[in-house]
Amino acid sequence: MEALERSIQECANIKELEKLRVEVFGKKGYFAAEFAKLKELKGDQRISFAAKVNEDKERFTDLINSKKEFLETKETKEALKKDAVDVTLYTNASNVGALHPVMSTMDRVIEYFASLNFSVEDGPLVEDDFHNFEALNLPKFHPARDMQDTFYFKDGALLRTHTSPVQVRTMLSQKPPIRMICPGSVFRPDLDLTHTPMFHQVEGLVVDKKGAVSFANLKSILEEFLKHMFGDVKVRFRPSFFPFTEPSAEVDISCIFCHGDGCRVCKNTGWLEVLGCGTVDPNVFKAVGYKDVSGYAFGLGIERFTMLLCGVPDLRSLFEGDLRLLEQFR
């Protein structure tokens, strides 16, 4: 019994203690054997023996319980120490965010024109018919309105379909000369590989005295801009139509994927259309009360630029917020 007592006192872990507990209290253990001896005793001897065994039993119960408590505390402390995390330790494994690719393209465009002294203007997303269409030489029922499907509110207000209304607002609130861009979101009910209902444009407008601003100025500024964005590309101006410019042009760059040889992205033409532009239509100047001025304007889609620059095949994926995609642009 003393040997057992000593083993309990010296025992180093819970598992060992449990083994000892069975040796003491188990069916084949020490106390089972002691109680078995009772059968052979009689009278006073039996009573005093039983009292002693019960006393011993109580002592062992206490001994084992307190040892158990001691070992449990000790093991918990050791586990905490072993698994401790040093929160002051430096790590570079944390999740650092980044600008969304559309926003970083937007920033590049803004920075370029800001460096050429263009002011950056802003306008409302909820527009009225006058600013979004009419003042831009798009009277009601004009067929060219079909070029831009529109989200309308019940009261006739609308979500702007392009950033061009900011041209109108800027001319109405400022005197020429004007040299502005307007970056911002625009809305059209489209959804497919290359269209989302919300997307971003940058509008540009330059206005000065009559004869001071020409199509040649427009050409050179856009050529330089596109080379800045896409590197060493060829740039071509293709006659086109926009109600707010006359003459109007669409601008293509030589395909950045096949270098003009023809591929799937450029639909085998060797060219990628990247923006629209022209010299400002006199009707637009009339709508804002400008006289004896000349000007040019241009507009581009930031998502189109981003898809080309980053090689994103499905525009919708840029707006799904999937970290596996976004992490690639860190």
# of chain residues touching ligand DAH (CB under 6 A): 11
3-state helix, strand, coil in the chain (%, to 5): 45, 20, 35
Is residue 276 part of the contact set for ligand DAH (CB under 6 A)?
Answer: yes
- 162 is an interface residue for ligand DAH by CB under 6 A: yes
Contact assessment for residue 195 and residue 315, using Cβ atoms and an 8 Å cutoff: yes
CB of 313 to ligand DAH, least distance (A): 22
Q: Does 165 bind ligand DAH (CB under 6 A)?
A: no
164 in contact with ligand DAH (CB under 6 A): yes
Looking at the Cβ atoms of 178 and 297, the one nearer to ligand DAH is 297
Q: Which stretch binds ligand DAH (CB under 6 A): 18-26, 77-85, 88-96, 276-284?
A: 276-284
Which of residues 245 and 254 has its CB atom nearest to ligand DAH in the complex?
Answer: 245
In terms of CB distance, is 183 or 278 closer to ligand DAH? 278
Handedness of CA 285, 286, 288, 293 (dihedral sign): positive
Give whole-number Cα distances, 49 to 36, 38, 54, in Å. Answer: 11, 8, 9
Other beta carbons within 10 angstroms of residue 165's beta carbon come to: 24
Residues 6+ apart with CB under 8 A from 212: 177, 294
Report the C-alpha gap between 208 and 290 in whole angstroms.
10
281 sits near ligand DAH (criterion: CB under 6 A): no
- The footprint of ligand DAH on residues 214-253 (CB under 6 A) is 242, 245
d(C-alpha 152, C-alpha 126), whole Å: 9
Rounded Cα–Cα distance for residues 68 and 130 (Å)? 84
Least distance to ligand DAH from the beta carbon of 201, Å? 6
Kindly identify the residues of this chain, within the stretch 1-20, that bind ligand DAH according to CB under 6 A: none
CA distance 237 to 69: 86
Q: Does 196 bind ligand DAH (CB under 6 A)?
A: no
Q: In whole angstroms, how close is the CB of 296 to ligand DAH at the nearest point?
A: 7
The one segment of 26-34, 125-133, 219-227, 293-301 that binds ligand DAH by CB under 6 A: 293-301
Q: Is 285 in the site for ligand DAH (CB under 6 A)?
A: no
- Contact flag: residue 299 with ligand DAH (CB under 6 A): yes
Distances (CA, A) of 313 to 261, 263, 271, 317: 20, 14, 17, 9
- In degrees, to the nearest 5, what angle opens at C-alpha 161 toward C-alphas 283 and 105? 110
Q: Which is nearer to ligand DAH, 30 or 199 (CB)?
A: 199
Residues that bind ligand DAH (CB under 6 A): 162, 164, 203, 242, 245, 276-278, 297-299
